[in-house]
Structure 1
Amino acid sequence: MRPGKRGIFAVAVAMVSAVTVVAASGTAFTTPGPVPAPPPAAPTSSIVPQANLEDVRKRLDKLYHDAAVATDAYDAAEEASKTQGARIAELSGRIATAQRKLAILKDRAGAAARSQYRTGGLPPTAELLLSDDPQQFLDGAGRVLQGQRATQNLLGEMTRTEKDLRRYAAAASAQWKRLEADRVAKAAAKKAVQRQIDEAKRLESRLEKREKERLAKLEQEAALRAQTIWLGTGILKKVRGKASAQGEEAVQYATAQLGKPYVWGAEGPASFDCSGLTSQAWSAAGHPIPRTSQEQWKQLKHVDVKDMRPGDLIIYFGDASHVAMYVGDGAIIHAPRPGRTVTVAGAGSMPILGVVRPDA
C-alpha cells in the first residue's frame, strides 16, 4: 500500500471506528451543560425546503439504485459477449481444421477412384479371379482385403468429419445468435443506465450550491444513521476473522484504488464500477471471480456476517445490485455510484443482503 493511500485509509477507518466506539458504549449524542442558542441563519436563496430535499435524496437513491441494477445487466451481457466471442473463435478454428481434413480425405478417395480407372475399371475382386498364378491369387486376396478395409476406413472417416463439420457449424450459428441476443441486452441495459443517470443529473442540476451541500450532508447523515444502527447490534464484537493471504492482497489492491472515479461498466485501471472493483481486486490476488455483483452472490460461498473477514465481499440490497469489500473494523471499500469515487464507508451504511467469500 502506498504511503498516501495508507494515510487516507487509516483516517477513514478511524472515523468508522469512532462511530463503532460510540455505538458500542451507548453514548448519547449530547453536550453536557446548557446548549447556547444557535446564531440566526444567514439569508439564503434556497428554494427547496429541508423536507423536500430529503425527498430529493430518496429519489436520487432510487435512480442510482436502478442505474446499478441496469449496470449489472450491462456487465453481465458484456461478460457473456466476451465468452460467446471466444467460443465462436474456437469453433471457427475447428471448422477450418475439419474443412482441411475433409479436403484431404476427398483427395484420397479421388486418387483411389483414379487408380481403379487406370486398371480398366475392373474391381480388385474380378482381377483376382482372372489370375492363373496361385501365389499371385493369395497375395491379391490379401491386398483386396486391405483395400476394402482402407476404403471402409476412408469412407467412415469422411462421414465422421462431415458430421463434425455440420456440428461445429450448427454450434457456431447458435453462438452467433446468443452473441446477438447479448448485444441487444447490452444495448438495452446501456440505455437504461444512461436514462437513470441522466434523470439523476437533471434533478441535481436544479439544485443551487447550498442545496447540493445540504443534500450531501443528508446523504452522509443517512449513511451514519444506518451504520450506527448496525453497530448498535453489537455485531463487531463477534467479527474476529483474520484475512487470508489472498484476501490481504485483494484488500491492498482495493485500497490502492481509493479516489478513482466510479464509471459504470468500468473495471480499471483508471475507473471502476462496484463489481469491477471487487472482481479486479480478487483477480489481482490470483483468484478470478464472477464479474457482476449478482453472479458473485450466486456463485461464491456464503458466510455469516459474524464470520466475515477482510477480503470478503458484502452484497447489498435485496436484488444484489451493489457489492463492496470488507476491510476490517466495520469498514468497507467500494465504488459507490456515478459522481463519486472509490472510498471507505461503514459496512452497515446500506442494507446488507449477505456476505460471500471468494477464496473459501
Structure 2
Amino acid sequence: MGTGKRGLLTAALTVICAVTVLAAPGTAFAAPAPLPVPAPAPTAAPAPGKDLEAVREKLDRLYHDAAVATDAYNGAEEKVRKQSAEIAALTKKIAQGRQRLAELRDQAGAAARDQYRTGGLSPTAQFLLSDDPGQFLDGAGRVLQGQQAAKKLIAEVARAQQDLREYADDAAVRWKKLEADRKARAAARRQIRRQIDTAEKLESRLEEKEKERLAQLEREAAARAQTAWLDTGVLDDADARTSARGTKAVRYATAQLGKPYVWGAEGPDSFDCSGLTSKAWAAAGHPVPRTSQEQWKQLPHVDVKDMRPGDLVIYFDDASHVAMYVGDGRIIHAPRPGRTVTVAGAGSMPILGVVRPDATGPAHGRPDA
C-alpha cells in the first residue's frame, strides 16, 4: 500500500474513532466560544446581626451569575451537538470515499491486466502482427474509446483521492476543536457548580426563622415589582387570546408545575428556565432555540402591551432568564436552584422584552391554563 493511501486510511480511521467517542454514553462536549466566569462569591457565613435584605440581594447576584453561565453552557451544548452531527456526516463521506476509491482501483487494475495480456504493444505493432488486420481495424474505434475511458478513470481516481484528503482534514480539524471545547465546557460546569454551592451554603447557615424571613423578603420584593409593573397600565389593553400552538405550549408548561429546577435540564423530570420554554414549544410542534439568549436573538419581538399567552418573556439586560406568559399578568417559569417550576407575576423581575415563537399564528381564545 502506498504512503498516500496509508495516510488517507489512517486519517479516516482516526475520525471514525473520534465519532465513536462522541457517541459514547456520558461523553461531555465543550462550548465553541468562551463562557462567562461567575464573579467571586463570599465563602464566610454572614456575621451575627446580619442584614437579611443584604443576604437576599447577595443570593440574587449569585444565582443570576449562575444563570448567565448556565445559559452559555446550554448554548455551547447545542452547538456541540451540531458539531458532532457534522463530524458524523464527514465520517460517512470518508467511508463512501474509501469505497469509491477501492472500486476505481479495481477498475484500474483490470485495465492494467488487459494491457498486460496484449503485451503492451502499440496499436501499430498490433496491426502489423495481427492475423486478421480487418478485424483489428474494426476494433480500432473501441481501442480509442478504451484510451479515453482510461484517462477518465485516472482523473476520477485523482478526484476521489483529493476529496478523501479534504474530508479527513476537515474532520480532523473539527475533532480537535471539539476536544478543546469539551475541556473548556467542563471547566465552566465546575464554575457553575461552585457558584451554586456557595449560594446554597450561604442559605444553609441561616437559622430556620431567618430562612422563613428571607423567603418572605423574596416574596415581598417580587410583589412590589409586580404591583409597580401593573400600575403602569401596561396590561390595560392586553389581548387574552392566543394561538392554537400557544395554547398547547401553555398547557405543557402548566403540567410541569412543581418540578425542580436543575441547571442544564430540559425535562421530563426537571428543568432550567429555557429548558422549560423550549420543551413547551417543541411539544406544541414549533421548536425554538434552546437558550434564553438565543430565544431573544432569533424569535420575533412583540411589545409587552401586546403579549399573549404562550409568548416568552425575557428578563434582565443580559437575557439570562426566560418565562412563559400565561395571561392575567402571570408567568410560569423555573426560577433557580432550590426552587420548583411555579407561577409568578410577569413583572416580578426586570423585563428585557417579549418574543413570540409563532408570530404568524392566528389568535383564537384564552388558553385553558
Q: Tell whether the structures are fold-level matches, with TM greater than 0.5.
A: yes
TM-aligned CA deviation for residue 126 of structure 1: 4.5
| 1:100 pairs with 2:99 | yes
AA aligned to 1:53 is: L
Give the match for residue 284 of structure 1.
283
Task: State the match for 1:221 in structure 2.
Answer: 220
Find the aligned partners of 1:64 and 1:171 in 2 and give their Cα distance. Answer: 40
Q: How does 1:166-315 map onto structure 2 within 5 Å?
A: 166-240=165-239, 242-315=241-314
Alpha carbons of structure 1 residues 118 and 264: separation in structure 2 relative to 1, 3 Å? same
Higher relative contact order (CA 8 A, sep 6+): 1
Contact 1:129 1:137 in 2 (8 A): no
> Whole-Å Cα distance in 2 between the matches of residues 167 and 184 of structure 1?
26
Query: How far apart are residue 357 of structure 1 and its match?
Result: 1.1
Counterparts of residues 1-12 of structure 1 (less than 5 Å):
none
Structure 1, 257-266 or 303-312: larger mean CA deviation? 303-312
Aligned in 2, Cα 1:224/1:153: closer, same or farther, shift over 3 Å?
Answer: same
Q: Which amino acid aligns with 2:354?
A: V
Larger radius of gyration: 1
Q: Which runs of 5+ in 2 are unaligned?
A: 1-46, 360-369
| Contact in 2 for aligned 1:73/1:189 (Cα 8 Å) | no
1:202-225 Cα distance to aligned partner (Å, 9 max, x none): 211221000000000000011111
Q: TM-score, normalised by structure 2?
A: 0.81
Which residue of 2 is the match for residue 324 of structure 1?
A: 323
- Any idea what SS the aligned residue of 1:237 has? coil
Shift of 1:127: 2.4
Q: Which runs of 5+ in 1 are unaligned?
A: 1-45
Whether the aligned pair in 2 keeps the contact of 1:116 and 1:123 (CA below 8 Å) is no
CA contact (8 A) 1:262 1:336 kept: yes
Q: Deviations over 1:65-122 (max 9, x none)?
A: 0000111111112112211111111111111111011011011101111111121122
| Cα distance in 2 for residues equivalent to 1:285 and 1:116 | 66
Structure 1 residue 241, shift from structure 2 partner: 5.0
Q: Residues of 2 paired with 1:141 and 1:284: CA distance?
A: 69
Q: Is the 8 A contact 2:254 2:332 kept in 1?
A: yes
TM-align CA RMSD: 1.7
Please report the TM-score for the alignment, with normalisation by the length of structure 1.
Answer: 0.83
Residue type of the alignment partner of 1:353: L
Secondary structure in 1 matching 2:139: helix
Question: Aligned partner of 1:143: which letter?
Answer: R
Q: 2:206 & 2:216 partners in 1: Cα distance? A: 14
How many residues are paired up?
313
Separation in structure 2 between the aligned mates of residue 61 and residue 124 of structure 1, nearest angstrom: 89
2:139 is matched with which residue?
140
Aligned partners of 1:310 and 1:328 also within 8 Å: yes
| 1:33 matched residue in structure 2 | none
Further displaced range: 281-290 or 141-150: 141-150
The superposition leaves residues 37-62 of structure 1 with CA deviations (integer Å, 9 ceiling, x where unpaired) of xxxxxxxxx9435xx11000000000
Q: Aligned partners of 1:127, 1:358: CA distance in 2, in Å?
A: 76
Inter-partner Cα distance in structure 1 for 2:155 and 2:119: 26
Secondary structure, aligned partner of 1:95: helix
Quote the offset at 1:178 in angstroms: 2.8
Secondary structure, counterpart of 1:344 in structure 2: strand
Give, in whole Å, the separation in 2 of the partners of 1:146 and 1:54: 90
> 1:256-286 CA distances to partner (integer Å, 9 max, x unpaired)?
0000000000000000000000010011111
Please name the residue that 1:54 is paired with: 53
Change (3 A) 1:155 1:241: farther
| 2:108 maps to 1:109 | yes
Report the CA distance between 1:252 and its aligned residue.
Answer: 0.5
**Other structure's SS at 2:239 match:** coil
Q: Could you tell me how far apart the structure 1 residues matched to 2:345 and 2:54 are?
A: 23
CA separation in 1, counterparts of 2:153 and 2:85? 33
Q: Is the 8 A contact 1:77 1:185 kept in 2?
A: no
**1:64 CA drift (Å):** 0.1
CA contact (8 A) 2:127 2:133 kept: no
Which sits farther off after the overlay, 132-141 or 312-321? 132-141
